[in-house]
């Protein structure tokens, strides 16, 4: 059974850093928000709200980290070069932080 501390850690490494999960999935393949939400659930074990995914995508697009295009009747999002760089920066930061904690 999860302690309150582990439950809180799962929450903080879930929805609070949703943008990292979004960019990592879009790096693998472009997709629309509904499918992105399902992939987050399947691959990372939590299901963000539908509106939450749209808000994160909107902010990432406004900052140039993702782009979008209309395919048929859906908007499909892709990670940009700038988004890949942001993801790399996040990876380095998380590695640095966890190394200091666990070593």
User: What are the chain's domains?
Assistant: 4-102 (1.10.10.10)
Distances in Å between the Cα of 49 and the Cα atoms of 18, 40, 52, 97 are: 11, 11, 5, 28
pLDDT in tens, 22-61: 999 999 999 999 999 999 999 998 899 889 999 999 999 9
- pLDDT category of residue 7 using cuts at 50, 70 and 90: confident
Nearest alpha carbon to residue 28 among 40, 17, 16, 18: 40
Tokens of 101: 């904690």
Helices (H), the chain: 4-12, 18-28, 33-44, 50-62, 81-102
Tokens of 73: 């009747």
pTM over 0.85: yes
pLDDT in tens, 66-86: 999 999 899 999 999 999 999
Q: What pLDDT sits at residue 1?
A: 67
Position 95 pLDDT exceeds 90 = yes
Map residue 2 onto helix, strand or coil: coil
């Amino acid at each position: 059974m999860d302690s309150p501390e582990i439950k809180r850690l799962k929450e903080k490494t879930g929805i609070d850093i949703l943008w990292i999960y979004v960019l990592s999935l879009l790096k693998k393949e472009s997709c629309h928000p509904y499918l992105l939400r399902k992939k987050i659930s399947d691959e990372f074990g939590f299901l963000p709200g539908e509106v939450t995914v749209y808000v994160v995508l909107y902010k990432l697009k406004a900052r140039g980290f993702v782009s979008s295009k209309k395919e048929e009747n859906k908007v499909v999002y892709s990670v940009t070069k700038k988004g890949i760089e942001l993801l790399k920066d996040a990876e380095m930061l998380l590695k640095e932080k966890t190394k200091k904690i666990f070593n």
